């Protein structure tokens, strides 16, 4: 790891975020939010063709682990990426062969 100087706390935070995105459906959600910027649960589950409960479950995990943020607007909650660097990590992983 050479010059990588991260505190144990930062390493644990990074590992926690990586565990949160380590699911095909969560990676798909990140991909959608990378393109659309903000989406509500209905838009996400309709585009991914999954059940609403499943979408909500994955969104909750991503939000709890600090990958996503949300903002309420009326009856809707819109989700968006907390940091652009998350999509860079997913892009990097998709290029691995």
What is the tens place of the pLDDT at every residue in 72-84? 999 999 999 998 8
CA–CA dist 74, 96 (Å, integer) = 41
> C-alpha distances in angstroms, 79 versus 11, 33, 35, 95?
25, 8, 12, 26
Residues 6+ apart with CB under 8 A from 90: 21, 27, 30, 31, 34
Above 70 in pLDDT, residue 2?
no
* Structure confidence at residue 26 (pLDDT): 96
Of 86 and 64, the one with more pLDDT:
64
CATH architecture of 9-95: Orthogonal Bundle (1.10)
Domain ranges for the chain? 9-95
Question: pLDDT, tens digit, for every residue of 44-80?
Answer: 999 999 999 999 999 999 999 999 999 999 999 999 9
* Structure confidence at residue 70 (pLDDT): 98
């Amino acid at each position: 790891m050479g010059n990588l100087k991260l505190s144990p706390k930062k390493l644990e935070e990074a590992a926690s975020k990586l565990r949160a995105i380590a699911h095909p459906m969560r990676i798909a959600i990140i991909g959608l939010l990378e393109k659309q910027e903000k989406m509500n649960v209905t838009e996400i589950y309709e585009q991914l063709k999954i059940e609403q409960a499943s979408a909500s479950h994955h969104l909750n995990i991503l939000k709890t682990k600090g990958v996503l943020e949300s903002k309420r607007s009326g009856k809707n909650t819109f989700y968006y990426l907390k940091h652009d660097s998350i999509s860079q990590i997913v892009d990097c992983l998709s290029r691995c062969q």
